[in-house]
Structure 1
Amino acid sequence: MADVKAILAGKYPAKAHARRVVEWMRAKNPGVSGVLYLEGQKTRMIEDNDETQPFRQRRFFYYLTGCALPDSYFTYDIDNDKSTLFIPPIEPESVIWSGLPLSVDEALSLYDVDQVLTTDQVASTIAHPHSSSAVWAIANQVSDHITFLEFNEKDFSLLKLAIEECRVIKDEYEVALTRHANDISTIAHTAVLKAVKHAKNERELEAIFIAKSISHGAREQAYHSIVASGTAAATLHYLKNSEPLTGKLNLLLDAGAEYDCYASDITRTFPINGRFSSESRAIYDIVLQMQNVCTNMLKEGVIWDAVHLTAHEIAIEGLLKLGILQGDKEDILKTRTSVAFFPHGLGHYLGMDTHDTGGHPNYEDKDSIFRYLRVRGPLPAGAIITVEPGIYFCRFIIEPYLTDPVHAAYINFDVLNKFWEVGGVRIEDNILITKDGYENLTTAVKDVTKMEELINGS
């Protein structure tokens, strides 16, 4: 395993990313030259308030700079391989409130760029490009005072696409960031496990997760946590996180810390009282088998659609053994009846965004088993993908299947009635694809015996 601390002691490889993006653009358009132009996210005020909104850097900008400062700009001179970061100048009146900002020299030492200037120099710098030059920018991410009048060619589409595609394959530094985010999230997940038996409601557990993340260096969350107890676990993107835990079987915790703009995304499902019910354990074992088999299929070039289909086949086999489904396995798969219990895709790319770029989903797919699959096609080495199978007992989703004679023939309603209180079970890990296999970056406990020991304090 790579030494995460040693890797992260270096600079975020922004210059290498810029070169990679240009290489991708030239594969599409061999004549690409001129200047790449990007703007960071602006400071924004809360409406009717003198406070700023929480800041989140634009990911396209961060990928080529490694800079999380608001109100910054960036250019990359393709032909001269020269990158320039523009940061806000010192405003004396703001220093008393916010302290001294980052200086030009400090920024040059922190970021992998060739030159650092201040933002009051952006317009004049780009106003004198090379003759017959082009500028490559992102639509709707160019400030009004930037005109590009001196450029002969202006393109507002290729750069965004290039960055989206390049972000799929992670370099060593990006993998280290994701691994570290996972390590912090594992600490936070473990803390929730240890607290769940004595907690009164979902919000207590969300607070524990966030507190542990922040105390270990991850101030931001990759997404709003899902802390779903009982039947609420059947809601895929549950939002309340405030309901009481009393009398409920399980807790589904889908939560991940973000570290230096890179996400983790981990889900665990466990018994609130420290012991799975027989129904909950049966579903958990099926989902764990789905995850283990599918993860073991992963390597460079594997077709993600086929892995997802395998997850459905295992779900069908498991639900047939329990008697929830009935009939022939192949017929059930053909009619897509299993979608009633596993309605989402097996996973998604992970990076600076939780649902990261480059997956090429097809949400218009007529085939319901693939419609919500966020990644389609072969997986490249260097991609990080989540593997998150689940089985859910959501009345809103399942009951229409029970009134459809085609699907209803394959569902045993009497057996199904025993499982509604299970809610839903999902298990999710973050997997790095390699040439010959994979590496699981997630170490949070999912073994039933170990989970129950942690919950019971034994």
Structure 2
Amino acid sequence: MTTVDTIIAGKYPAKSHARRVAESLRPHYQGTTGVIYLEAQKTRLIEDNDEPVPFRQRRPFFYLSGCLLPDASLIYDIGSDKLTLFIPPIDPEDVIWSGLPLSATEALKLYDVDDVLDTTKVNSTLASIASAHGGKAIAFAMADQVSDGTEFSGYAEADFSSLKSSIDQSRVVKDAYEIALLRKANDISAKAHIAAIKASKSATNEREIEGAFISACIANGAREQSYHPIVACGENGATLHYPKNDAELTDPVTKQRKSNVLIDAGGEYRTYCADITRAIPLGGRFAAETRQIYKIVLQMQTECIEMLKEGVQWEDVHALAHRIAIKGLLELGILRGSEDELFAKRISVAFFPHGLGHYLGMDTHDTGGNPNYEDKDSMFKYLRVRGRLPAGSVITVEPGIYFCRFIIEPFVKSPELSKYIDTNVLEKYWSVGGVRIEDNIHVTKDGYENLTTAPKVIEEVESLAL
């Protein structure tokens, strides 16, 4: 049986990615050929310090190399289908402090490339390829990722504008190896979410829950985080990207323990990201109002996920989430009016202001979504993905309902819109803050595959929190 660990024990499929990008670039070198040149992230020192800035590999470079070394380069000769990795030569002084670096022989065994040379040979290799193609090849690179001294003389053209978009679009559809990496990141993050739920039982501050999550990620092989975790208790959960993670879990005025915590966090595994959100109860049981909202959000997510398959229009899925939210808030008495009128007036945007999800991969908000932030329609303005979903894409499905005074009060004060919200009923729900439930979904030809295993059924979450 093929397992995730079996798949990722092999080489990252850099060569097939290079071919995919080359095919995307074909209209730009029609009738000739091309060369792709990319550089890894540079080693940089922290300002006023001799320590390096924390390293994060450039994603375009990793996509075509699978290599996490800084200061490296790669060349893909499209005409000869040859991928060459260039790694820094040995620096004797650095060996004293950091040990021997990876050798060319070792790198050739590790990475899906045809040759490994040291970086002093980049220019001579570029010149040799240009000569072999009779000066007709086009060099594709990114202007802001080319070191001074890199030479493209001998090429018909140096194109600095086409490569990024070609890589971005190529990255949308994942292969089996990438799906395995994303599943691994999700499996580790699920363990970390469980650790965070358990830690919440005795925690007194948001940061203790964050610490439990990060610790579990590191212990299970995800040393880096996909993004800074969000740990937001009570009304802090109404802030979509709450950044502080330092609030006490007990209200300083009432001395009562707050009712719930929203945790949005994911570990990164070999540059691939998990992005998972859960709402958990403090004290083992959800408060009545939180439980009501949780059920609505879970239904929003469940029905939206069930829509997913190749070719589905993402805007339609997002609209369904709003219609379910409207129905649920009507049943609670927070909203009033007809479902169609509330949808037409975009009243649900007051409670669900963000997009339903985004592509996921090497970046949390991954490439290729083609958002339209100039959209005048408030329901769709913040959608990070527009259009039809291709098979092989991975997308987050993260509906939420929030009770943010800053967002809701303009609706309440509007002469036109205030009639749709019952402020007396609304008053009971401010303490909920926000509930968001987020999973990572692999879109397939005929349906979907949920990569996220973190618990979300109310009874299971409560049993862990008791």
TM interval, shorter chain, is over 0.9
- Residue 154 of structure 2 corresponds to 150
Residue aligned with 1:409, SS: helix
- Residue 112 of structure 2 corresponds to 112
Question: 1:184 aligned to 2:194?
Answer: no
Residue aligned with 2:420, SS: coil
How many residues are treated as equivalent by the alignment?
456
What amino acid is the match of 1:294?
A: C
Q: In the alignment, is the contact (CA less than 8 A) between 1:26 and 1:32 conserved in 2?
A: no
1:210–1:9: structure 2 CA closer, same or farther, 3 Å change rule?
A: same
- Residue 248 of structure 1 corresponds to 258
1:296-352 CA distance string (max 9 Å, x none): 000000000000000000000000000000011111111111100000000000000
- Residue 454 of structure 1 corresponds to 464
1:128-186 CA distance string (max 9 Å, x none): 32322210011211111113122121111111111100100000000000000000000
Question: 1:223 aligned to 2:227?
Answer: yes
The Cα shift of 1:106 comes to 0.5
The Cα shift of 1:197 comes to 1.6
- Residue 433 of structure 1 corresponds to 443
1:15-72 CA distance string (max 9 Å, x none): 0000011112225653461210001110011001111000000000000000010000
Provide the C-alpha distance between the structure 1 equivalents of 2:213 and 2:30, rounded to a whole number of angstroms: 48
- Residue 201 of structure 1 corresponds to 205
Question: 1:162 aligned to 2:172?
Answer: no
1:345–1:44: structure 2 CA closer, same or farther, 3 Å change rule?
A: same
Q: In the alignment, is the contact (CA less than 8 A) between 2:126 and 2:151 conserved in 1?
A: no
What amino acid is the match of 2:72?
A: S
- Residue 313 of structure 2 corresponds to 303
Provide the C-alpha distance between the structure 2 equivalents of 1:22 and 1:233, rounded to a whole number of angstroms: 44
Counterpart selection for 1:316 from 323, 326, 339 = 326
Which of structure 1's runs of 4+ aligned residues deviate more than 2 A?
27-32
Residue aligned with 1:228, SS: strand
Provide the C-alpha distance between the structure 2 equivalents of 1:211 and 1:105, rounded to a whole number of angstroms: 35
Provide the C-alpha distance between the structure 2 equivalents of 1:344 and 1:31, rounded to a whole number of angstroms: 45
Specify every segment of 5 or more residues in structure 2 that has no aligned partner in the other structure, as ranges: 251-256
Provide the C-alpha distance between the structure 2 equivalents of 1:143 and 1:331, rounded to a whole number of angstroms: 57
1:228-286 CA distance string (max 9 Å, x none): 11100000001001111112111000000000000000000011111111110000000
Residue aligned with 1:391, SS: strand
More deviation, 368-377/398-407: 398-407
Counterpart selection for 1:336 from 338, 341, 346 = 346
The Cα shift of 1:127 comes to 2.7
Provide the C-alpha distance between the structure 2 equivalents of 1:425 and 1:446, rounded to a whole number of angstroms: 12
Residue aligned with 1:38, SS: strand
- Residue 239 of structure 1 corresponds to 243
The Cα shift of 1:124 comes to 2.0
Q: In the alignment, is the contact (CA less than 8 A) between 1:168 and 1:358 conserved in 2?
A: yes
1:2–1:369: structure 2 CA closer, same or farther, 3 Å change rule?
A: farther
What amino acid is the match of 1:343?
A: P
User: What TM-score do the two structures reach when normalised by structure 2?
Assistant: 0.97
- Residue 82 of structure 1 corresponds to 82
- Residue 362 of structure 1 corresponds to 372
- Residue 254 of structure 2 corresponds to none
What amino acid is the match of 1:133?
A: A
Provide the C-alpha distance between the structure 2 equivalents of 1:92 and 1:197, rounded to a whole number of angstroms: 51
- Residue 380 of structure 1 corresponds to 390
Q: In the alignment, is the contact (CA less than 8 A) between 2:231 and 2:263 conserved in 1?
A: yes
Provide the C-alpha distance between the structure 2 equivalents of 1:60 and 1:181, rounded to a whole number of angstroms: 20
Provide the C-alpha distance between the structure 1 equivalents of 2:447 and 2:30, rounded to a whole number of angstroms: 34
Provide the C-alpha distance between the structure 2 equivalents of 1:44 and 1:113, rounded to a whole number of angstroms: 26
- Residue 63 of structure 1 corresponds to 63
Question: 1:19 aligned to 2:19?
Answer: yes
Specify every segment of 5 or more residues in structure 1 that has no aligned partner in the other structure, as ranges: none
- Residue 139 of structure 1 corresponds to 143
Counterpart selection for 2:300 from 267, 290, 294 = 290
Residue aligned with 2:279, SS: strand
What amino acid is the match of 1:404?
A: S
| Residue pairs, 1:394-405, within 5 angstroms | 394-405=404-415
What amino acid is the match of 2:87?
A: I
Question: 1:407 aligned to 2:417?
Answer: yes
- Residue 432 of structure 2 corresponds to 422
- Residue 30 of structure 1 corresponds to 30
Provide the C-alpha distance between the structure 1 equivalents of 2:214 and 2:32, rounded to a whole number of angstroms: 45
Provide the C-alpha distance between the structure 1 equivalents of 2:112 and 2:220, rounded to a whole number of angstroms: 26
Provide the C-alpha distance between the structure 1 equivalents of 2:2 and 2:307, rounded to a whole number of angstroms: 23
What amino acid is the match of 1:428?
A: E
Provide the C-alpha distance between the structure 2 equivalents of 1:399 and 1:190, rounded to a whole number of angstroms: 35
The Cα shift of 1:381 comes to 0.4
Provide the C-alpha distance between the structure 2 equivalents of 1:443 and 1:28, rounded to a whole number of angstroms: 42
Q: In the alignment, is the contact (CA less than 8 A) between 1:25 and 1:32 conserved in 2?
A: no
Provide the C-alpha distance between the structure 2 equivalents of 1:125 and 1:347, rounded to a whole number of angstroms: 43
When the two chains are superposed, the root-mean-square deviation of aligned CA atoms in Å is 1.0
The Cα shift of 1:123 comes to 1.9
1:398-420 CA distance string (max 9 Å, x none): 11111112221100010001000
- Residue 253 of structure 2 corresponds to none
1:2–1:338: structure 2 CA closer, same or farther, 3 Å change rule?
A: farther
User: What TM-score do the two structures reach when normalised by structure 1?
Assistant: 0.98
